[in-house]
Amino acid sequence: MSHIHKRRAAILVACCLAACGPSITAQGETSAAECSDGRDNDADGSIDCTDLACGVHSFCAGMTPGDAGPLPSSCGASTCGGCCSGATCLGGNSASACGAAGAACLDCGPGHLCSSGGCVVDPASRWNIVVESVSVNAQTASGEAWDAFGGAPDPVVNVYVGTQTGYVGSTPAAADVFAATFDARVATDQRAEAMQTYLAFEVMDEDTSAHDRVGRCAYSGTLSDAPFTGASQTVDCERSPADDQAGFELRWHLERN
Give the residue-averaged pLDDT of 82-107.
Answer: 95
How high does pLDDT run on average in the chain?
Answer: 85
> So what's the pLDDT on residue 59?
65
Is residue 163 within 8 A of residue 198, CB to CB? The reply is: yes
**pLDDT of 71 over the 90 cut:** no
Torsion on CA atoms 177, 183, 188, 194, rounded to nearest 10: 70
Give the residue-averaged pLDDT of 13-20.
Answer: 46
135, β-bridge pairs: 179, 249
Strand ranges in the chain using DSSP code E only, listed in sequence order: 83-85, 88-90, 93-94, 97-98, 103-104, 112-115, 118-121, 126-136, 155-161, 167-170, 179-191, 199-205, 212-219, 233-237, 248-256
Backbone angles phi, psi at 184, to 5 degrees: -110, 130
Map out the domains of the chain as residue ranges. Answer: 3-60, 83-121, 126-256
What does CATH list as the number for 126-256? 2.60.40.150
Residues 210-248 pLDDT 10s:
789 999 999 999 999 999 999 999 999 999 999 999 999
- 133 vs 207, residue with greater confidence: 133
User: What are the strands of the beta sheet with 233-237, ordered from one edge?
Assistant: 179-191, 126-136, 248-256, 233-237
Is residue 200 within 8 A of residue 218, CB to CB? The reply is: yes
Residues 38-65 pLDDT 10s:
677 788 877 777 777 877 776 676 554 4
| pTM for this entry | 0.69
Residues 145-204 pLDDT 10s:
998 778 899 999 999 999 999 999 999 999 999 999 999 999 999 999 999 999 999 999
Q: Which of 128, 91, 97, 129 is nearest to 113 (CA)?
A: 97
